[in-house]
Amino acid sequence: MASKRKVGEAKLEKEELDLFVDAPPDDDDDGDDEDGDTSDSEESVYSGLEEEPSSEEEEEDDNGDHGTEDTTDISRTAINDTTGFAGTSSTERLDNRPPPDEYEFDSSDEEDIRNTVGNIPMEWYNDYPHIGYNLDGKKIMKPAKGDELDEFLNKMDNPDYWRTVKDKTTGEDVKLTDEELDIIQQIQNGKYPDKAYNPYEPYIDFFTHEKMIHPVTNRPRDKRSFIPSLVEKEKVSKLVHAIKMGWIKPRKARDDEPKYYDIWENDNQYTPDKRYQTHIPAPKLKLPGHEESYNPPPEYLPSEEEILAWNQADPEDRRQAFLSKKYDALRKVPAYAGFVKERFERCLDLYLCPRQRKMRANVTAEDLIPKLPKPRDLQPFPTTLSVVYEGHTDIVRCISVEPTGQWLVSGSDDETLRFWEVATGRCRKVLQLGGRVRSVAWCPNTAVCLVAAVVDNKVIIINPSLGDKLVYHSTDNLLNTYEAPESLETKLPVEWVAAEGKEHDTGIRLRIAHPKTIRQVTWHGKGDYFAIVMPDGGSMSVLIHQLTKRRSQNPFRKSKGLVQCVLFHPVRPFLF
């Protein structure tokens, strides 16, 4: 056997020698082929050369085998000739080659498995400086952990921060690949992780609705399908033998335990089962009224128009599902045509309509009335009538107080405007305006003494001449300094008329006529502008007048609704 093995090895080495001798020399200096990779046969030869040199003892043992050594030397010489390195030893060529890349043959799975703690909660290592053990049993220390500032800087500077996750087993940051991101995106979208997976592949339906000539399987039945089973026969015989020997005993019937009850218990007391405690009974039908009687009163009988409207209306829109009819006797009443339909709809309501228990709140009428606080808790407030201002003979429509609080003006349907002293209730002045006074407003500027009153479609500016003489004299001087302009830019249907003669002596200074009835007048905080409201004025429902220049303007070109009231902001140039 040894001689045969040696002969076989010699033949194999001879074939390898012939292969390398016949192979054409390569033009590349590095000894690589055109593709840059070696073939499978060359790798098998080089694998023997890449081993480390053996020791001296092994070399002495190898020298004993002369045939093998000679063949190996010849093959090495042939290899040197074919690769272009004739005259150089294999050890020198291996030293000149670059070191092999360890990641070329290392697998990623083996690379990741470095912590040998196993599948355990990593929270167990929270209080320890290490996070596990490597394959050599040494501790794996936790990586340095930055603070919130480092985390923020990493978030700002690292463009791959959004795709970086922390590995709990090693404590290091792992960057997700594009393939892993695609899988996560697919799962978030509710799709299959693999994009290439087709869940709707064509399905071959063997059993179709079409009648086939031949069966799908035409295999004949087995013999055991119509012959008693021997295995079951053995099992039954064993069970029968065990029962006869007393090894298997049948189950004894359980004795019913005696049921005790309280003979003195109240018979009316009933404790229902839990299943029936949540039962909600169906609502009862409405009891029949006079309209369902066979001899109803005349007011319940429909007229011809009501019968026609009932027939033309949809069944859902009808107030009742039948028409009342009158019969002389009960025996003349025919069978109700809609009886079966009503019973069927009632059955549908009983088992199809959901039910809800409505909890009624027991609330008395006294609980609905809000509890008012006691009057003594609201003090201080006026409790005694101090002053009564008497003088008007009709309804008082409006009042206004002077900015200093000394004087009060009131307008009434008796076509008079009265000025009162607030503290004493004394009427200091009465003006006849010739119409109902609808609105009155005292100028808020304390430097002038003016009152604006509304009578029908006119605004009357009045100087009551009350209070400080310097104030109301300066007011007249202010009004007299007006000079009419040569031309008006915009002309509105508003007429400014200055009072003269006896009318001027009564205190009236200006009359401003408008096309429609005025409802309200209000002053600006500085006292130079005042606004009026004409609900029927359309686009001119609100007009603003300037007293010093006697000019009017329309702030709104269109009116979106009926204007009832306006008011100036006390500080800002706003109109509400």
* In the chain, domain spans: 12-22+43-49+62-99, 396-482+491-553
Does residue 11 carry a pLDDT above 50?
no
pLDDT of residue 275: 60
pLDDT digits (tens, 9 = 90+) for 150-183: 889 988 999 999 999 988 887 888 899 999 999 9
pLDDT of residue 321: 86
Spacing of C-alpha 363 from chain mean position: 38
pLDDT digits (tens, 9 = 90+) for 395-404: 999 999 998 8
More confident call, 266 vs 442: 442
Share of the chain above pLDDT 70, in %: 76
CA-wise closest residue to 524 among 456, 576, 465: 576
C-alpha to C-alpha distance for 431 and 464, rounded to whole angstroms = 9
pLDDT of residue 254: 78
How many Cβ atoms from other residues are within 10 Å of residue 309's Cβ?
13
Q: Return the CATH architecture of domain 396-482+491-553.
A: 7 Propeller (2.130)
Please compute the mean of the pLDDT values over residues 210-221 and round it to a whole number.
Answer: 78
pLDDT digits (tens, 9 = 90+) for 448-492: 889 999 998 899 998 888 888 888 888 888 888 877 776 655 567
Give residue 267's pLDDT band: very low, low, confident or very high (50, 70, 90): low
More confident call, 2 vs 245: 245
Full 3-state SS string of 84-109: CCCCCCHHHHHHHCCCCCHHHHCCHH
Exposure b/e, 460-474, CB count within 10 A at least 16 = b: bbbbbbbeeeeebee
Please compute the mean of the pLDDT values over residues 241-256 and round it to a whole number.
Answer: 86
Helices 66-83 and 56-63 sit at what angle, rounded to 10 degrees? Answer: 110
More confident call, 45 vs 344: 344
Assigned token pair, 18? 């012939």
pLDDT of residue 272: 57
Assigned token pair, 66? 């002369």
Please compute the mean of the pLDDT values over residues 251-277 and round it to a whole number.
Answer: 69
CA-wise closest residue to 521 among 421, 444, 453: 453
Residues sharing a CB contact under 8 Å with residue 527, sequence separation 6 or more, in sequence order: 443, 444, 445, 447, 448, 450, 547
Provide the 8-state DSSP code for 433. Answer: -
pLDDT of residue 178: 92
Please compute the mean of the pLDDT values over residues 256-274 and round it to a whole number.
Answer: 67
pLDDT of residue 209: 66
pLDDT of residue 96: 56
Token look-up 């200006």 returns 510
Does residue 323 carry a pLDDT above 50?
yes
Provide the 8-state DSSP code for 503. Answer: H
C-alpha to C-alpha distance for 456 and 275, rounded to whole angstroms = 79
Q: Are 13 and 71 in contact (CB under 8 A)?
A: yes
Give residue 83's pLDDT band: very low, low, confident or very high (50, 70, 90): very low
Give residue 409's pLDDT band: very low, low, confident or very high (50, 70, 90): very high
Give residue 76's pLDDT band: very low, low, confident or very high (50, 70, 90): very low
Alpha-helical (H) ranges within 106-197 are 108-112, 148-157, 178-188
- Strand order of the sheet with strand 427-432? 396-401, 407-412, 416-421, 427-432
Please compute the mean of the pLDDT values over residues 208-224 and round it to a whole number.
Answer: 78
CA-wise closest residue to 419 among 397, 435, 442, 436: 442
pLDDT of residue 348: 92
Does residue 47 carry a pLDDT above 80?
no
pLDDT digits (tens, 9 = 90+) for 94-124: 445 555 554 454 444 444 446 777 778 888 8
Please compute the mean of the pLDDT values over residues 376-393 and round it to a whole number.
Answer: 85
Assigned token pair, 163? 């795709």
Q: Are 538 and 559 in contact (CB under 8 A)?
A: yes
CA-wise closest residue to 165 among 179, 180, 150: 180
Assigned token pair, 276? 């029936």
Please state, rounded to an integer, the average pLDDT across all residues of the chain.
77
Give residue 329's pLDDT band: very low, low, confident or very high (50, 70, 90): very high
First to last CA, the chain: 121
C-alpha to C-alpha distance for 223 and 412, rounded to whole angstroms = 122
Q: Which amino acid is at 63?
A: N
The least confident of 209-223, 241-255, 314-328, 537-551 is: 209-223
pLDDT of residue 2: 41
Write down the pTM of the prediction: 0.39
CA angle (223 as vertex; 217, 228 as ends), nearest 5: 130
pLDDT of residue 92: 43
Alpha-helical (H) ranges within 117-249 are 148-157, 178-188, 230-245
CA angle (422 as vertex; 416, 426 as ends), nearest 5: 60
